[in-house]
Amino acid sequence: MKYGIVTSMVTDTKEKLVGLTFKSFEEAFSIIKEIGYDGVDIFIEDISKFNIAQIKELSKIYQLEINSLDTSSVYEKDSLFFSHDNEKIRKKAIEKVKKYILAASELDSFVNLSLVRGNIYNEEKRK
């Protein structure tokens, strides 16, 4: 069995972050490796600013697997989710998650859908 941990990066936003939080991914990877983990699950705050090349390099030099990319912020920050009443929102959620899938394919990792599935309220009223 291998050990992994969720990590995220401190930014200047006030968003609630997930897992161990660091000033930079470099700091995160160096410390996580020294502690003895085998891999990381990355909480991505904004996929459009996610630097795949940097993560690839860090994964190689620190010899840490990228287990998954976490999509929580799509739900929490962008308020997009697959089960939304509004079709436009649902489509936007799909488009956003596609970007995670492309990034994950380059990093040979999974995408954690987590909250982006969304919640269904008043189910009986929905068509």
Binding-site ranges for another protein (CB under 8 A) = 26-27, 29-31, 33-34, 58, 61-63
Nearest to 24 by CA among 46, 55, 3, 52: 55
Whichever of 21 and 30 has its CB closer to another protein, that residue is 30
For residue 44, the minimal CB distance to another protein (Å) is: 21
For residue 80, the minimal CB distance to another protein (Å) is: 34
Tokens found for residue 49: 């600013």
Whichever of 57 and 78 has its CB closer to another protein, that residue is 57
User: What is the spatial distance between Cα 67 and Cα 40, in angstroms, rounded to a whole number?
Assistant: 6
Residue count of the chain: 127
User: What is the spatial distance between Cα 17 and Cα 126, in angstroms, rounded to a whole number?
Assistant: 32
Whichever of 13 and 63 has its CB closer to another protein, that residue is 63
User: What is the spatial distance between Cα 18 and Cα 73, in angstroms, rounded to a whole number?
Assistant: 9
Whichever of 58 and 116 has its CB closer to another protein, that residue is 58
